[in-house]
């Protein structure tokens, strides 16, 4: 399988990337790790005449932890997310989730920017970014702007990013308290049948802050407001957990595919959300 022909560019700066996108419009695409894009290009499902490699743009790389804020450059690979110890203390849920993505070879090249910008509901990082309440940093011809991860996803492959913009970084507050990213998949390297990210802070036996989000259970990642409202203020006892799980499953909207029919996916969603809340509670 070989993709159709294209012109290849490898600029050094964000401005040059934006310039090329402006010049070639709809016919141009950026490539990061290529592990979502190249498979699609091989199937000739997208028509790309100008491919702009972000691999040469140093400004898009790296992890900065400054005070309580974590900023991760778009071109940071999943492998780098896993092996960065400072990140593992600032937000351990990132390592836990990244280790459940794909396989070692894919993780060496796949980037956080490609994963969140792709817009595929099956990607794990968008759900993770809902959990963390992350902010996305975009750059375009009119400069930079930010969009909340929870406002970014509109439908499968439709996001708030304009065609002439790129994502430069994601940022979020360092976490404290309990965390968990749980994923049900058929085998290593498979996308989620259902996955959930949970953060949970306990104070004197009561939950003071929580976050719950779902992956691959709708055409966008889902942040579960109702489940969060149930958990916050509760003691996260079995009754609260059961109510939160029900609220999360209620807002899921999976479609039937090779991973199973809708009822099965909703069932698995319930199991996974329960596991994630209980695991986060045990670490809080």
Partner 1 sequence: MEKMHVKMNVNGKEVDLLTEPRTLLIHALREELGITGPHVGCSSSHCGACTVDMNGMSVKSCTVFAAQANGAEITTIEGLGSPDALHVLQEMFKEHHGLQCGYCTPGMITRAYRLLQENPNPTEEEVRFGIAGNLCRCTGYQNIVKAILEAAAKMNEIKESA
Ligand X SMILES: Cc1cc2nc3c(=O)[nH]c(=O)nc-3n(C[C@H](O)[C@H](O)[C@H](O)COP(=O)(O)OP(=O)(O)OC[C@H]3O[C@@H](n4cnc5c(N)ncnc54)[C@H](O)[C@@H]3O)c2cc1C
Pair 140, 165: CB distance under 8 Å: yes
Specify the stretch interacting with partner 1 by CB under 8 A; choose among 59-67, 99-107, 173-181, 213-221. Answer: 99-107
Residue 140: CB minimum distance to ligand X, A: 10
Per-residue binding string, ligand X, 172-211, x by CB under 6 A, is -----------------x-x--------------------
**Contact with partner 1 (CB under 8 A) among 51, 81, 198, 268:** 51
What's the CA gap between 232 and 225, in Å, rounded? 11
Residues 59 to 118: which contact ligand X by CB under 6 A? 74, 101-102, 106, 110-111, 113-115, 117-118
DSSP state of 111: B
Per-residue binding string, partner 1, 139-178, x by CB under 8 A, is ----------------------------------------
* C-beta closer to ligand X: residue 243 or 255: 255
Residue 184: CB minimum distance to partner 1, A: 16
What's the CA gap between 63 and 77, in Å, rounded? 10
Specify the stretch interacting with ligand X by CB under 6 A; choose among 35-43, 223-231, 239-247, 260-268. Answer: 35-43
Residue among 101, 115, 283, 271 at smallest CA distance from 199:
283
Alpha carbon 195 to chain centroid distance?
A: 11
Polymer length in residues for the chain: 284
State whether residue 22 is helix, strand or coil. helix
* C-beta closer to ligand X: residue 34 or 177: 34
User: Pick from ligand X, partner 1, none: which does 5 bind, CB < 5 to 8 A by kind?
Assistant: partner 1
What's the CA gap between 215 and 252, in Å, rounded? 9
Q: How many residues bind ligand X (CB under 6 A)?
A: 29
CA angle 95, 129, 88 (to 5 degrees): 25
Alpha carbon 229 to chain centroid distance?
A: 23
Residues 73 to 92: which contact partner 1 by CB under 8 A? 79
Residue 95: CB minimum distance to ligand X, A: 14
**Contact with partner 1 (CB under 8 A) among 59, 88, 106, 173:** 106
Rounded to the nearest 10°, the torsion over CA 40, 42, 48, 52 is 90
4 near partner 1, judged by CB under 8 A: yes
**How does 239-271 read in b/e, with b if 16+ C-beta sit within 10 Å?**
ebbebbbebbbebbebeeeebbeeeebbebbbe
User: Pick from partner 1, ligand X, none: which does 7 bind, CB < 5 to 8 A by kind?
Assistant: partner 1
**Contact with ligand X (CB under 6 A) among 72, 90, 132, 166:** 166
């Amino acid at each position: 399988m070989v993709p159709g022909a294209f012109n290849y560019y490898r600029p050094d700066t964000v401005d040059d990337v934006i310039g090329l996108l402006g010049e070639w419009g709809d016919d141009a695409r950026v490539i990061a790790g290529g592990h979502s894009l190249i498979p699609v290009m091989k199937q000739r499902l997208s028509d790309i005449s100008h491919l702009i490699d972000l691999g040469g743009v140093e400004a898009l790389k790296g992890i900065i932890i400054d005070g309580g804020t974590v900023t991760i450059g778009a071109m940071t690979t999943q492998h780098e997310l896993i092996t960065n110890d400072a990140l593992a203390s600032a937000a351990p849920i990132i390592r836990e989730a990244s280790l459940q993505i794909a396989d070692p070879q894919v993780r060496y090249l796949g980037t956080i920017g490609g994963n969140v910008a792709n817009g595929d509901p099956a990607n794990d990082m968008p759900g993770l970014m809902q959990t963390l309440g992350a902010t996305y940093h975009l750059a375009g011809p009119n400069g930079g702007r930010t969009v909340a991860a929870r406002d970014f996803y509109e439908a499968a492959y439709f996001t708030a990013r304009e065609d002439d913009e790129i994502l430069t970084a994601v940022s979020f507050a360092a976490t404290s308290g309990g965390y968990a990213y749980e994923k049900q998949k058929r085998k290593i390297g498979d996308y989620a049948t259902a996955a959930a990210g949970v953060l949970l802070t306990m104070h004197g036996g009561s939950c003071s802050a929580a976050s719950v989000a779902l992956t691959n259970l709708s055409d966008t990642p889902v942040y579960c407001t109702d489940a969060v409202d149930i958990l916050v203020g509760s003691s996260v006892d079995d009754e609260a957990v059961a109510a939160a799980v029900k609220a999360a499953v209620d807002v899921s909207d999976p479609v039937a595919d090779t991973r199973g029919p809708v009822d099965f996916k909703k069932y698995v969603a319930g199991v996974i959300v329960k596991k994630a809340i209980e695991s986060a509670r045990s670490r809080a």
